[in-house]
Amino acid sequence: MSDPNPAIVTRIAEELRRARRLFFITGAGISADSGLPTYRGIGGLYNNQATEDNFSIETALSGSMLEANPAITWKYLHQIENSCRGARFNDAHAIIAELQNYFEVCVLTQNIDGFHRDAGSRNLIEIHGDIHDLYCTRCDYAVTVSDYSGLDMPPSCPRCHALVRPRVVLFGEVLPSHAIQHLYAELDQGFDLVFSIGTTSVFPYIAGPVVQASQMGIPTVEINPTDTNVTRFVDYKLAAGAAASMRAIRQAYQQGLN
């Protein structure tokens, strides 16, 4: 993977020095440096292949499958969680959290790995949820687990024995209203600089804020090794990895403060 372009990094650092409120939109690519697979949606490890049960991963990881055959959905949730197990946040997550010392920062993430939360991001919109947060589909039982190793598959509620599920948005399910309201409230306040990191921006609620910022003349940055749905809208494009890019931006920003 190529190194971030120093001239573009310098210009991003200059934009940072003029900014007060920052908006980071992140996808699977920001967790690639933690060893996690990048993927579309939450079903990443499979790309477009059918699962061993001959369902597409979108079908296996859908709300309707969870209802009809929870063992299938949980089988693949368990595989995804297992692929993340033992991994931890990387420099990109940590630097975004560190920027809270200098700026007002909001993070909108599609990722369900919990790394932004672990790194210390406070104003965080986990639009697709977190795979570690579980709740009962019948009663008010809820728990956060570090991993799935101690769970029965599929797990049942210790209180009422109904099905337990993760607090994530499965295919075909609606986004959580509290997350959408949080996002709208942040967008209403406006931002001085918008970053899109490690996401192909296929969903309108992920691409929209970047396009809107661009149309309003707010500086926009994309960090992604490949071109995406928002590349043509952004002011600054770093075709490099998230961790290397954020390290370079932090260094250039801090040099300018000295």
Closest by CA to 194, choosing from 229, 220, 166, 226, is 220
Distance of alpha carbon 228 from alpha carbon 221, whole angstroms = 12
Residues 76 and 54 reside in one and the same domain: yes
Total domains in the chain come to 2
pLDDT of residue 165: 97
pLDDT of residue 189: 96
Domain membership of residue 242 (yes or no) is yes
Q: What is the pLDDT of residues 22-70, one digit of tens each?
A: 999 999 999 988 988 765 434 344 555 667 778 888 899 999 999 999 9
Residues 149 and 206 reside in one and the same domain: no
Domain membership of residue 1 (yes or no) is no
Residues 186 and 248 reside in one and the same domain: yes
Residues 253 and 224 reside in one and the same domain: yes
* Confidence check: pLDDT of 255 > 60: yes
Residues 76 and 151 reside in one and the same domain: yes
Residues 20 and 74 reside in one and the same domain: no
Identify the active-site residue in 78, 93, 116, 128: 128
pTM comes to: 0.93
Kindly report the average pLDDT of the chain as a whole number: 92
Check which CATH number belongs to the domain holding 157 and give it: 3.30.1600.10
The type of residue at 140 is: D
Q: What is the pLDDT of residues 88-143, one digit of tens each?
A: 999 999 999 999 999 999 999 999 999 999 999 999 999 999 999 999 999 999 99
Tell me the average pLDDT across 230-234: 97
Distance of alpha carbon 53 from alpha carbon 56, whole angstroms = 9
pLDDT of residue 40: 46
**pLDDT confidence band for 79 (50 / 70 / 90):** confident
Owning domain of residue 75: 44-85+134-168
Residues 79 and 105 reside in one and the same domain: no
Check which CATH number belongs to the domain holding 28 and give it: 3.40.50.1220
Q: Which two tokens stand for residue 79?
A: 């595989």
Residues 74 and 193 reside in one and the same domain: no
Q: Is 178 a catalytic residue?
A: no
Distance of alpha carbon 18 from alpha carbon 14, whole angstroms = 7
Residues 50 and 138 reside in one and the same domain: yes
Residues 180 and 112 reside in one and the same domain: yes
Q: Which two tokens stand for residue 60?
A: 């296996």
C-alpha to C-alpha distances, 68 to 4, 60, 74, 156, 166, nearest whole angstrom: 47, 10, 12, 15, 16
Burial 32-47 (b: 16+ CB within 10 A, else e): bbbebeebbbbbeebe
**CB–CB of 93/121 below 8 Å?**
yes
pLDDT of residue 68: 96
Residues 121 and 142 reside in one and the same domain: no
Residues 163 and 58 reside in one and the same domain: yes
Last residue of a domain, one of 118, 152, 168: 168
Domain membership of residue 58 (yes or no) is yes
